[in-house]
A and B are shown apart, each in its own frame.
Chain A
Amino acid sequence: MGFWRQRVTAWKRDRRVLWLGYVLVALALALLPFAIDTTIGRTWVRVLDFALLYVMLALGLNIVVGFAGLLDLGYIAFYAVGAYTWALLASPQLGLHLPFWMILPLGAGLAALFGVLLGAPTLRLRGDYLAIVTLGFGEIIRIFLNNLDHPVNITNGPIGINRIDPISVVGFELTRTHEIFGITFSGAHLHYYVFLLAALASIFICIRLEDSRIGRAWIAIREDEIAAQSMGINTRNVKLLAFAMGATFGGVAGGLFSSFQGFVSPESFILLESIMVLCMVVLGGMGHVAGVVLGALLLATLPEVLRHTASPVQQQLFGEVILDPESLRMLLFGLALILVMLLRPAGLWPSPTRKREFADAERQATGRTGAAATG
């Protein structure tokens, strides 16, 4: 055992091995959609595309909930802001067709602005009060999107906006199927690469943030706001920054979603989506970037895996389909949420520090649960 560990550490120290590892991973990621496409079908490329969007969303929410400890139940609003910014500025709806490199930053900026707008009045609120206000904020945004068709038609209301421009670089439209060097790239494949880059950038930013001055300030606020304040942290600005940063991720993801789908309507931004993203963060391991990514990938693909397996597995076990696959899918999903939390309350992959704290709390076994909630 000891021998192997020494060898492994030696390998890890070797930079060449490190670079080789990076190249291998990059190659694997680049080939992934083709491997999936040929083995289990193109549906899964599309599922993966959305999973990557959820990775961005979960990472964004993780900044607010995981790092800064501010419970946000209306996060999907920023996704909506990003999506509608793109939809309005690049579709026949308002007759505008701006290029993507202008809209994407604009959407992100607008989402950040909304993040500050949400954050500013709620600075004094704690815990569950904040949760309900953010929930309300999310609903307000959705209701406005659903109703801004009257008296002046801006968002086209419940009907949604169609024929949204795809990302296109000098006439190369990402939604079309292209032949490059004899390899066929479908829209789903091409978006995979774009989303992958965006998700990797998000992961990189989050990891850097966590170790930065701001990141530590967030964590300080999460652990004890009063102590953080007395250490000279400007809690107001730092909290607003968390909201703005988190919202930016949502805004970018929303824009990408809009261009990928070519259609947006308020149905995509319901409360359940906010709850889903929160589940990803908590289930994966709040505050831990790798855990959150894992949570997002799992929860985004799990319902689809269940969708594909619910019927065949039943057929195999009982010889017939007893429960409709769709009911079973949601039943199992609910059950999975409960079981994972019961077995791993700190998430599937919690950060090492968080895990230690949790173990300490377990050992001491004192104080009320509520103390953690409000403290």
Chain B
Amino acid sequence: MTEAAEQVKEQVVDLTGANAILDKYVDMHGALMPALQEIQEFYGYIPEPTVHLTAERLNVYSSQIYGVLTFYAQFHLQPRGKYIIRVCMGTACHVKGAARIADTVKDRLGVVHAETTEDLKFTAEYVACIGACGMAPVIMVNDATYGSLTVQKVDEVIEKYQAMG
């Protein structure tokens, strides 16, 4: 774990937001996943105290919640960067050189899959497919998709976000 991440973890998490979210899901069929998704959207990740809170309020075991959290690629137990770089590793991207794109991101930011830069600015993620195969190789930075990439273009994209602060 990076130092910055450790610091954040030690902070006391304000549970008001999580409580408000959970209010909506108490007594609802199949509430666990949508509740966790919403909590993650609110905090940017799933802080540990919210897991225990969710267990208590939705009446499920913490172990079951961790089972779900670690099963799905979408959930994150660590704080994440401001900009999430999703590198698509789908078949089309693979054939057109996704490994090279991932290497470039690693070279420029020093992070590989599921790692966050120390300044909490960038998180790299290698994902199975983002469904923009027509423009392979592709990356997504938050909600923006960048297609038909070359090593140079990846550099440009990263520089753009670095400049954005």
User: Do A and B interact?
Assistant: no
B residues near A (Cβ < 8 Å) are none
A residues near B (Cβ < 8 Å) are none
